[in-house]
C-alpha cells in the first residue's frame, strides 16, 4: 500500500461543530440581562442599541432611583454625580409606569450639573411600524 496524499478535506464534521457552537452562543446570549433592576422599558417606534455608557441611572416602578445598582435619593444622586467629568455619558433607564415627574426630577439633576451626554433607553415597539 502506497501512501496517497490527502487531496481533499471532509468539511461536514467541521460544519456540524460550528452549528453546535452557534446554537450554544445564541442560547446563552439570551440569558444576559441589561440591568439587574427589573424594569419594563417604554416602547418607541425607533429603538437603536447604543454603546454602553460609563454611568447608568435607573428608576424602578416604585420611583426608587438607582445609581451603580445602589438606591439613592435625589440629593445623594446629585452629590455622587457632582465630581464626575461633564462629558461622562449617561444612560437613563426608567420603568414605563413611573410617574413622569420622577423622571423629570432625575433629568433635571443631570441638567443642573451640566451633563450633556444623556441617553434614554427604550425598547422597540412589537409589531408596530408607525409611531
**CATH architecture of the region 43-124:** 2-Layer Sandwich (3.30)
Q: Which H or E element spans position 106?
A: helix 100-112
Percentage of residues of the chain with pLDDT beyond 90: 21
64/78 Cα distance (integer angstroms): 15
Average the pLDDT over 14-33 and give the result: 78
Long-range contacts of range 104-108, CB-CB < 8 Å, 24 or more positions apart? 105/74, 106/57, 106/59, 106/65, 106/74, 106/77
Nearest to 36 by CA among 72, 60, 12, 18: 60
pLDDT at 112 over 70: yes
Please indicate, yes or no, whether the overall pTM of this predicted structure exceeds 0.95.
no
pLDDT tens-digit profile of 28-84? Answer: 765 554 555 565 666 666 655 555 557 888 998 888 999 888 899 999 999 999 999
What is residue 126's predicted lDDT score, i.e. its pLDDT? 67
What is residue 54's predicted lDDT score, i.e. its pLDDT? 73
Gyration radius of the chain's alpha carbons: 23
Q: Helix, strand, or coil here: 1? A: coil
User: Range with the lowest mean pLDDT among 23-27, 29-33, 115-119, 121-125?
Assistant: 29-33
Amino acid at each position: 500500500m502506497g501512501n496517497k496524499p490527502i487531496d481533499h478535506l471532509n468539511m461536514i464534521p467541521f460544519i456540524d461543530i460550528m452549528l453546535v457552537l452557534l446554537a450554544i452562543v445564541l442560547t446563552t446570549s439570551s440569558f444576559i440581562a441589561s440591568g439587574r433592576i427589573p424594569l419594563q422599558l417604554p416602547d418607541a417606534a425607533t429603538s437603536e442599541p447604543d454603546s454602553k455608557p460609563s454611568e447608568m441611572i435607573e428608576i424602578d416602578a416604585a420611583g426608587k432611583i438607582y445609581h451603580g445598582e445602589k438606591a439613592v435619593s435625589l440629593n445623594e444622586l446629585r452629590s455622587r454625580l457632582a465630581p464626575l467629568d461633564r462629558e461622562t455619558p449617561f444612560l437613563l433607564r426608567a420603568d414605563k409606569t413611573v410617574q413622569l415627574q420622577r423622571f423629570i426630577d432625575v433629568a433635571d439633576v443631570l441638567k443642573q450639573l451640566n451633563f450633556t451626554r444623556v441617553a434614554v433607553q427604550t425598547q422597540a415597539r412589537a409589531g408596530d411600524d408607525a409611531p
